[in-house]
Amino acid sequence: MRRSSPRIAIIVFPGSNDERDAAWALRALGAEPRLVWHAERALGDVSAVVLPGGFSYGDYLRAGAIARFSPAMGAVRDFAASGGIVLGICNGFQILCEAGLLPGALRPNASLSFVCRDVSLRVERADTPFTARCRPGQALTIPVKHGEGSFVLEDGAACAEQVVLRYEAGDNPNGAFDDIAAVVNGKGNVMGLMPHPEHAVDTLLGSADGAFILGSLVDAACEREPAPTAA
């Protein structure tokens, strides 16, 4: 029996600072968020996973490089391998790349400075669990806040079909290759993005466009039976 309010795990690493914002946004969109400490080896009875923004382990070595070894990431890998829906936001995106769950890597911004502002995005794919509420070509306004958000790929052509969001022309805040703001894995069930949709779900904050992303995630989680996990 499916829940009307899907349970979504939010992995909390040392240095995470957006987990409660993500929880608030998901709850506002009808989900039941559950904060999962990084040392836990099981996710529990959940229908989706979110890796939130922040500075896991202080971004030492490089962003996400240490967090990928956290015990919870083993459970996240297994969950993703079973078809589970996983979203990485900002630092979460960096962690997913470091863990090999997404292609590419994130390097320091081209400006070598921290960037915090709204950006204009273009939806390239609306056929993913993260963009089903969108339409192709739709414009979204969502904030970014990062110092290491320049997405790079060894073979951009090979991953062209995995691009979900791009920065609009002239609004690339970090020098990302081909204006890429979000990508999915080959199966389409894991996505990472540098913008913060959890900070854009209420017009009081300037934009509610993040609800297109997180609302799609909640919808997809509603359709998925919780994956069995080890005790």
Helix (H) or strand (E) holding 28: helix 19-28
pLDDT for residue 192: 99
231: in domain: no
C-alpha angle with apex 30: 28 to 32, nearest 5 degrees? 95
Task: Specify the range with the lowest mean pLDDT, choosing from 2-11, 95-104, 190-199, 220-229.
Answer: 220-229
Q: Are 192 and 129 in contact (CB under 8 A)?
A: no
Q: Are 91 and 50 in contact (CB under 8 A)?
A: no
Alpha helix positions (H), 82-206: 91-98
Q: Using alpha carbons, select from 194, 207, 230, 220 the residue that is nearest to residue 31.
A: 220
pLDDT at 75 over 90: yes
Which phi and psi (to 5°) does residue 10 adopt?
-120, 115
pLDDT for residue 156: 76
230 pLDDT tier (thresholds 50, 70, 90): very low
Rounded CA-CA distance 109/67 in Å is 21
Mean of the per-residue pLDDT values for the chain?
Answer: 94
pLDDT for residue 231: 43
Backbone region of residue 40 per phi and psi (left: phi > 0; alpha: psi in -120 to 50; beta: other values): beta
Helix (H, G, I), strand (E, B) or coil at 165: strand
229: in domain: no
Calculate what percentage of the chain has a pLDDT beyond 90.
88
Number of structural domains found in the chain: 1
Q: Using alpha carbons, select from 19, 107, 21 the residue that is nearest to residue 59.
A: 107
The structure tokens 């079973």 sit at 82
228: in domain: no
What is the DSSP code (8-state) at residue 16? B
For residue 213, what is the domain's CATH number? 3.40.50.880
116: in domain: yes
Q: For 78-122, write each residue's pLDDT tens digit.
A: 999 999 999 999 999 999 999 999 999 999 999 999 999 999 999
**Model-level pTM?**
0.94
1 pLDDT tier (thresholds 50, 70, 90): very low
pLDDT for residue 140: 99
Rounded CA-CA distance 32/38 in Å is 19
The residue range of the domain holding 59 is 7-223
pLDDT at 64 over 70: yes
46: in domain: yes
Q: Using alpha carbons, select from 154, 158, 160, 163 the residue that is nearest to residue 193.
A: 163
Helix (H) or strand (E) holding 39: none
pLDDT for residue 226: 54
202: in domain: yes
1: in domain: no
Q: For 160-181, write each residue's pLDDT tens digit.
A: 899 999 999 999 999 999 999 9
pLDDT for residue 3: 54
Residue numbers annotated as active site: 90, 196, 198
